[in-house]
Every structure is written in structure tokens, then in C-alpha cells.
Amino acid sequence: METINNMDRKQQLIQDVQNLLNTYDSVNSTVIDPALLEFMDEPTLVNIVSDLLSQKEDAKESDIEWLEKFKKEI
């Protein structure tokens, strides 16, 4: 059985996933039912958060590259 601290940590990670998903313009309000993710362990949730952060960073870099290219054309 998981300790309360582990459950609190998992709840925070689930909240982090929701928050990251909700920062995408094309996604409306994303709500994840914590019961659906109970079977996931903490490392899996951390990996999901990490992957979402990487995707956001990649998107940001591509936006910057596009802006720089546009700037050079002016």
C-alpha cells in the first residue's frame, strides 16, 4: 500500500500533467481523473511530465527558429 506522501506526490504529478496539457492552445480544459492514473507509478508520471516539458521546449525552439528566419528576411 502506498504511503500518504507517495499519494500526495502522485496527485501533484497528475496536476502537473493537467497543467502542462492545458498550456497548449489547441487543447481546452484538460481534466484527468486521478482514478485513471492510480495504476501508474511515480516514475511513469515523472516520465510523462518530462516528455510534455520536452515537447513544449521543442515547440518553443521551432517558434524561435521561425521568428529568426522571418527577422532575417525583413
Residues 3-51: tens digit of each pLDDT: 668 778 888 888 888 888 887 666 567 777 777 767 788 898 899 899 8
Q: Say yes or no to pLDDT of 74 above 60.
A: no
For residue 48, give every residue at least 6 positions away whose Cβ sits within 8 Å of its Cβ, in sequence order, or none: 13, 17, 40
C-alpha cell, 66: 521561425
For residue 1, give every residue at least 6 positions away whose Cβ sits within 8 Å of its Cβ, in sequence order, or none: none
Q: Say yes or no to pLDDT of 1 above 60.
A: no
Please give the radius of gyration of the chain, using alpha carbons only, rounded to the nearest integer.
Answer: 17
* pTM given for the model: 0.62
